Structure 1
Amino acid sequence: MRLNRQAEIAIGILVACARSPMRKITTLQAAETSATTKDHAAQVVNLLVHEGFLRTERGRGGGIALAVPATEILLGDVLRRVQPDLVRHAGRDDLSGHNATMPAFAAIVGAAEATFLTFMDRYSIADLISGPLQHASAGKQVPHLPCFDCGLVKSVRETESGRWPFVIEQARGASLPVQR
């Protein structure tokens, strides 16, 4: 699973529009915010309009704006629509056609992909425009997101034992479902 450049640009454009809720922004402004060309931004804007995330207005005073509130645009929905090939197995009942020599591995990959999208559905574009907070241990500014407080998001290096069972035990302690 890897986000393509189009998905990154789409999220950047949606964030730029969410930061300017009282006015429309131009495609050029969206391109500059997303660090891409105006032509590439225009292609992504067209896709986002088609998918119902953005609305456009032509002419003097025109531009692009969110079609729905930023709190209703889930990151998982954006990724599903902008990069449909991001997950190959998620939501499929029949995994036999994919990696038939290792069906257990295909099932694990499918579960991981579904989990990724479920995790992304916890956050909206509105979460990406909130102000940064100082991260105590790293000394960096990072956005404060509720799930980042839980132990499941900690990297393996941050765990005491450096092993995944520690993270699984934290999940059990937090009464989150962990399937084996």
Structure 2
Amino acid sequence: MRLTTHSDYALRILLQAAIEPDRLLSIAQVAQEQEISRNHAMKVVNQLANAGLLETTRGRNGGFRLGQPANEISIGEVVRLTEPSLSSADCANCILAPSCGLTPTLGEAVDAFLQVLDNRSLADVARSTRLPFHRTRA
């Protein structure tokens, strides 16, 4: 299963927020540090905030941080939120669909994939993640 760039960015942004819980992160800074377009980072942060996974503050000194404790956010939840489709194949448009034995097997594989992600929290993943950039504290 391959995740979209949108899901990748969402997970990376959440990881940074989990690793730096005491810091109000700015979209511009995260976009620069993670080499994500500012526009794309803004869309991702907006989606995560609308889902309650991030909390945002507007204004000159605004930014974002986790909206929930990292141990309460499952990686599976994030993937379900950000992936447009979790189908591993386009079975709906296949001539074999009515009698194909592969369809249930592929569905089972997607379920197993999501089960693993559901069993990992953002906190679990953040514990073994190191940010590649260094920042000086003001």
On whether the aligned pair clears a TM of 0.5, the verdict is yes
Q: Residues 33 and 118 (structure 1 numbering): CA distance in 2 closer, same or farther, change over 3 Å?
A: farther
* Displacement after TM superposition at 1:64 (Å): 0.5
Equivalent residue for 1:37?
37
* Displacement after TM superposition at 1:100 (Å): 1.4
Equivalent residue for 1:103?
100
Q: How does 1:7-26 map to 2 (within 5 A)?
A: 7-26=7-26
Q: Which gives a bigger RCO, structure 1 or 2 (Cα 8 Å, sep 6+)?
A: 2
- Equivalent pair of 1:13/1:33 in contact (CA under 8 Å): no
TM-score normalized with structure 2 length: 0.82
Q: Structure 2, unaligned stretches of length 5 or more?
A: 130-138
CA-based RMSD: 2.2
**Which one is further off, 65-74 or 54-63?**
54-63
Which whole-Å CA distance do the structure 2 matches of 1:126 and 1:34 have between them?
A: 19
1:110-145 CA-partner distances (Å, limit 9, x unpaired): 00001100011111111222146xxxxxxxxxxxxx
Q: Report the residue type matching 1:113 in the other structure.
A: V
Q: Report the residue type matching 1:70 in the other structure.
A: A
**Which one is further off, 23-32 or 45-54?**
23-32
Q: Report the residue type matching 2:116 in the other structure.
A: F
Q: How does 1:1-180 map to 2 (within 5 A)?
A: 1-87=1-87, 99-100=96-97, 102-131=99-128
Which whole-Å CA distance do the structure 2 matches of 1:47 and 1:96 have between them?
A: 28
Which whole-Å CA distance do the structure 2 matches of 1:62 and 1:27 have between them?
A: 9
Equivalent residue for 1:177?
none
SS in 2 for 1:46: helix
Which whole-Å CA distance do the structure 1 matches of 2:126 and 2:61 have between them?
A: 24
Equivalent residue for 1:92?
none
Which whole-Å CA distance do the structure 1 matches of 2:75 and 2:108 have between them?
A: 18
1:4-40 CA-partner distances (Å, limit 9, x unpaired): 1000000000011111111210002221343211111
Normalized per residue, which structure has more helix?
Answer: 2
Instruction: Give the number of equivalent residue pairs.
Output: 127
Equivalent residue for 1:162?
none
Determine which structure has more spread, i.e. the larger CA radius of gyration: 1
Q: Residues 20 and 41 (structure 1 numbering): CA distance in 2 closer, same or farther, change over 3 Å?
A: same
- Equivalent pair of 1:12/1:33 in contact (CA under 8 Å): no
Which whole-Å CA distance do the structure 2 matches of 1:20 and 1:73 have between them?
A: 16
